[in-house]
Chains A and B, each alone.
Chain A
Amino acid sequence: MSLAQWKDRLKWTFLRKRAEDDLDDEIRAHLAIGERQRTEAGQSPDSARTGARKDLGNELLIKEATRGVWTWRWLEDLARDLGYGARVLRKNPGFAAVAILTLALGIGCNTAMFSVINAVLLRPLPFREPDRLIYMLESQPAAGYPVNVLNPQDYLDWKAQNHSLEDAALWDGTQNYNASGAGSPETVRVTHTEANFFSVLGVQPLHGRAFASGEDTSGNNSVVMLSYSFWQQHYGGREDAIGTKLLLDAQPFTVIGVMPAWFQFPARAQLWTPLDMVKERHEERDNHSFHAVGKMRPGVTLEQTRADLDTISARLAEQYPKTNSGETSLLQSLQERLTGESRTQLLVLMAAVALVLLVACANVANLLLSRATGRQREMALRAALGARRLRLVRQLLTESVLLSSLGAALGVLLAGGCISVVRQSAALPIPRQTPIQIDWVVLAFAGSISIVVGLLFGMAPALQIQVRHLANELKAAVQSLSAPGGGRSRLRDALVVGEMALSLSLLMGAGLLLRSFINMRSTDVGVVRDNVTTLALVLPMTDYMTISARQNFYQHLLDRIRSEPGVQDAAISLELPLEGSRGEAVKLTGEPASQPTHAISWNVVTEDYFQVMRIPLLAGRTFTARDMERTGEGMVRLRAAQESNPNSTGTFTYPIVVNQKLARTLFPEEQNALGKLIIMGNQIGEVVGVVGDVKQEDIRQPAQPEAFGPLPAELMNHWYPAAVSIRSSTAPGSVVADARHSLAQLDPSLSFFNIRTMEEVIAGSMEDTSLQTAVLGAFAGMALLLAAVGLYGVMAYAVAQRTREIGIRMALGAHPRAVMAMILGRGGRLTLAGVAVGAPAAFGLARLLSKMLFGVSVADPLTFTAVASLLAVVAMAACYIPARRAMRVDPMVALRYE
């Protein structure tokens, strides 16, 4: 029932009372007039009253008959049609169940998918005035950083000099801390923010308060905000958590507030503490490690803001040419930043699930058509009794919308189930500032598609009603020797062909993703992944301040781990394969200062890293324990020199190992990169070895040029987690307990986190593709199943219609196998038509997926052949049962049948 109809009905309820009162008055007036005329004619008042009453007749009956006139005709008709439709469905429970389930499947999947899209793409971010929030980065393409995180000095200059931003807040990448309190120590993810971070986003804490202005300076910034989940886990959701102390790397922080559960920004942050903005103001201009969110002034556009900030950047480039030349702002709306990547994927999946619904529709239309044949006489009879065609069409459409509404109701329940599963699986790479839920927008969506769908598949049988031919139908229905009515059967065939075409395109998409996934799995990352366990660790700055303290600790830890049973090798590195990489801008000896730097990936490792990962050595040597010691000593000296004289130009040279890609990119002419020097500021790397390429970012991308330095070269960056990698002779993971034990013996306040096997690290990098493959595969499977059911229905119907014909054929000597071949042949022709029609659609859908594919072309013939064969096999299986039935037709029974 449409909104307008509801409104009418509501109005009706209000008006009804008034109309009844009015009618009462009218009848009373009638009586009064009659009575008066009688008294004027000389009757006594008593006899006048009874006479008038007698004239009037039965008052109740009059009123009832008059009220009957008021009722809206269409409302009665609708109620009657609905009642009739419900009776028809009740009388055909099998048909009703299949149709409703099919529709529930189609509508349910669409509703679930839509609720994800609604939460991620349609609903605004739950921040205050989210369309004014922008995400701020920098770009310096000439230096090899088309996308770069912020330098705090650049940010502060922007903030002070711009005219377009109302406010802005800085934060750094999430860092790991050792949190301690009761129980075992734990590593937590902490984000440091400017004090106004929460107010720029316009988010209030659930309990307590947010940072006050001025709290982002040294001495004042020992306060911490808790995420909802951290508060639940560690404080059991108690409000008296506020005011207590929390130890982060042994430093006490006062808990001042708890954020609401939905607030997960930046993603995965567990705690927020203030930055020290005084310190950031003096950061080097080439140190980029921050993010910022800005709030534009009302009415200011993103373009205006960009132009404004770039004017400032241009000034900075003039002022600081060494660090800022060619640097511009890189801005995007916060909404786009948070949803951009998932947008295409979600839209592709929505398109796919809409195809499933189309297949479901075609299926139900087919079911209705086969039933319409049975109801042809009923329609003819009603037409003969005076029903107009429009009225019959309306009745059929009411029935189909009733069917689709029941399907939608069940579908919404189904979607609710899907959503609660989706919500629980935290692994899904879906940004979710807003919760995925069935709200009124989603319900309205489900309601409208159910009506559209009902009209769509109801159209098929409705179109078949031709009042003029109904008389013939009355007669024709008696005799069914001839093949079923040509038009109807062609429409049914077309629907089945369409279903198979749609299924083929979905199968093609799923097939291509599956092949991409298989290709990714079998792609060589550059390491031998089995039997390697990785554990992350952060050393707090408080206890491990110096390079040598850190180096010593790691040395002892590795020694202990190596002595554990089953351990073959152990190493520490800054980065793991496929986990992203740090960029470094380097120069080669002899290059003039004006020449742009080369961007390379940078990793530091202990001597056994290449052994643990089984990265092949191609030339020269890898590191030795001696390299580690000497580099550590050299870095300590370099640091001391810098601290005594910030302008010191002293340099320090240590050995580095480079990958093949770097050797070929930076030293293309030479056969041998060994002995070459790579300059990284005041540190110079001398190439002592060349190793095989290891993919750093994405399994789909080739390896970048990469240099490996000895671990002590980066030990100053206390906050950077170290990755401990252990190669064992036993199953990976078996070494974790021993490694934990070793760590606890060295320092009981520390803990490992992010414990994974190398296999899991690699699988994690393919999470997106595996999820897409699974979802699209499920959709394709559903479509295939529905198409098979549809084909089965058409074939079974055809066999039933032709029972007598088949009987005659067999009586005349046709071999049962020939009959079977005849039926299978028809199914085969439909399937071929489906493949022919579906091929262009399949390649079209595949083009949408092209960005997600790896190692397989959009029009991959092998995949197409495979999915077309799968479709053919399933189609033949669906035809087989009716064909068998046709083969078993007993000529005598069939001929006697009518």
Chain B
Amino acid sequence: MARKEPYQNRIEFLQGTLEMLILRTLQWGPQHGHGIGQAIRLHSGDLLQVETGSLYPALHRLQKQGWLESEWKVSENKQRAKYYRLTAAGKKQLLAEQSKWELFVKAIAGVMKPAP
């Protein structure tokens, strides 16, 4: 579904990780699409650049799953934007993804560690 833009000298997202990152980002509070993209870039030290063409489908997919809710609000700069917020189910999903991710990192690290 998510269209991939041509590879641009950045780290490519593993399958499903974008969703996890969105959920994690929204743990800090409701945010609009632009803000979510920026937050991910910021926290990854500019290594992860979220394509808008992946971000919005992912947001809508998460909302359809019932993990996000959305609402039109006016920002502190008086700008209208659609804010996304974690639902209870979304929080639960984030926890599950997180432990799965940790397991995955451990497994990969174990395999990839330099031979003794």
Contacts and interface: CB of A to CB of B under 8 A. Distances in A.
Interface of A: 22-23, 25-27, 29-30, 32-34, 36, 55-58, 61-62, 64-66, 68-70
A29 B53 CA distance: 15
A30 B33 contact: yes
B81 A33 contact: yes
A18 to B, nearest CB: 13
A30 B64 contact: no
Contact of B32 (A33, A56, A64): A33
Contacts of B46: none
Contacts of A22: 82
Contact of A25 (B53, B64, B75, B82): B82
A33 B61 CA distance: 23
14 contacts: A22-B82, A29-B81, A30-B52, A33-B34, A33-B79, A55-B52, A58-B53, A62-B56, A65-B56, A65-B57, A66-B57, A69-B1, A69-B57, A69-B60
B69 to A, nearest CB: 14
Contact of A65 (B34, B53, B72, B77): B53
Interface in B50-64: 51-54, 56-57, 60-61, 64
A32 B33 CA distance: 12
B3 A65 contact: yes
In the A-B complex, the 8 residue pairs with the smallest Cβ-Cβ separation, listed nearest first, are: A69-B60, A33-B34, A29-B81, A65-B57, A66-B56, A69-B61, A62-B53, A26-B82
B92 interface: no
B79 A29 contact: yes
Given A26-B82, A57-B5, 16 more contacts: A22-B82, A23-B56, A26-B81, A29-B34, A29-B81, A29-B82, A30-B52, A30-B81, A32-B79, A36-B77, A55-B52, A65-B53, A65-B56, A68-B57, A69-B60, A69-B61
B53 A61 contact: yes
B74 to A, nearest CB: 10
A64 B81 CA distance: 20
A65 B5 contact: no
Contacts of A34: 34
B79 A61 contact: no
B60 A66 contact: yes
Nearest to A58: B53
B82 A36 contact: no
Contacts of A61: 3, 53
Nearest to B60: A69
A30 B34 CA distance: 6
Contacts of B53: 57-58, 61-62, 65
B60 A70 contact: yes
Interface string B65-79: 000000010010101
Contacts of B1: 65, 68-69
Interface SS of chain A: helix
B80 interface: yes
Nearest to B77: A36
Given A65-B1, A68-B1, A69-B64, A29 B80 contact: yes
B2 interface: yes
Nearest to A19: B60
A33 B51 CA distance: 16
Interface in B100-115: none
Contacts of A66: 56-57, 60
Nearest to B55: A62
A776 B60 CA distance: 60
Nearest to B2: A65
Nearest to A52: B34
A56 B52 contact: yes
Contacts of A26: 33, 56, 81-82
Instruction: Indicate the member of A23, A56, A64, A69 with the most B CB atoms within 10 Å.
Output: A69
A56 B52 CA distance: 6
Nearest to A73: B64
Contacts of A29: 32, 34, 79-82
A718 B2 CA distance: 95
Contacts of B2: 65
B55 to A, nearest CB: 8
A61 B61 CA distance: 16
Contacts of B56: 23, 26-27, 62, 65-66
A42 to B, nearest CB: 16
A69 B65 CA distance: 11
A34 B79 CA distance: 11
A50 to B, nearest CB: 16
Interface in B1-35: 1-3, 5, 32-35
Contacts of A33: 32, 34-35, 75, 79, 81
Contacts of A65: 1-3, 53-54, 56-57
Nearest to B51: A57
Contacts of B82: 22, 25-26, 29
B110 to A, nearest CB: 28
A70 B57 CA distance: 9
A163 to B, nearest CB: 65
Nearest to B5: A57
Contacts of B57: 62, 65-66, 68-69
A696 B29 CA distance: 96
A136 to B, nearest CB: 66
A65 B52 CA distance: 10
A24 to B, nearest CB: 11
Contacts of B5: 57
A602 B60 CA distance: 90
B72 to A, nearest CB: 8
Contacts of A36: 77, 79
Contacts of B75: 33
A149 B16 CA distance: 85
Nearest to A63: B56
Contacts of A64: 3
A32 B35 CA distance: 12
A46 B34 CA distance: 20
B78 to A, nearest CB: 10
A33 B35 CA distance: 9
B12 to A, nearest CB: 16
A810 B56 CA distance: 70
Contacts of B77: 36
Contacts of A69: 1, 57, 60-61, 64
B71 to A, nearest CB: 12
A57 B60 contact: no
A201 B20 CA distance: 74
B15 to A, nearest CB: 14
Nearest to A60: B53
A179 B65 CA distance: 81
A34 B2 CA distance: 22
A564 to B, nearest CB: 93
Instruction: Indicate the member of B2, B35, B75, B82 with the most A CB atoms within 10 Å.
Output: B82
A58 B3 CA distance: 11
Instruction: Indicate the member of B33, B34, B81 with the most A CB atoms within 10 Å.
Output: B34
A22 to B, nearest CB: 8
Nearest to A33: B34
B80 to A, nearest CB: 6
A61 B60 CA distance: 15
A562 to B, nearest CB: 96
A34 B34 CA distance: 7
A789 B110 CA distance: 65
A64 B56 CA distance: 10
Contacts of A58: 53
Contacts of A30: 32-34, 52, 81
B10 to A, nearest CB: 14
Nearest to A55: B52
Contacts of B3: 61, 64-65
Contacts of B32: 29-30, 33
A34 B3 CA distance: 22
A70 B82 CA distance: 17
Nearest to A64: B3
A66 B63 CA distance: 12
A27 B57 CA distance: 12
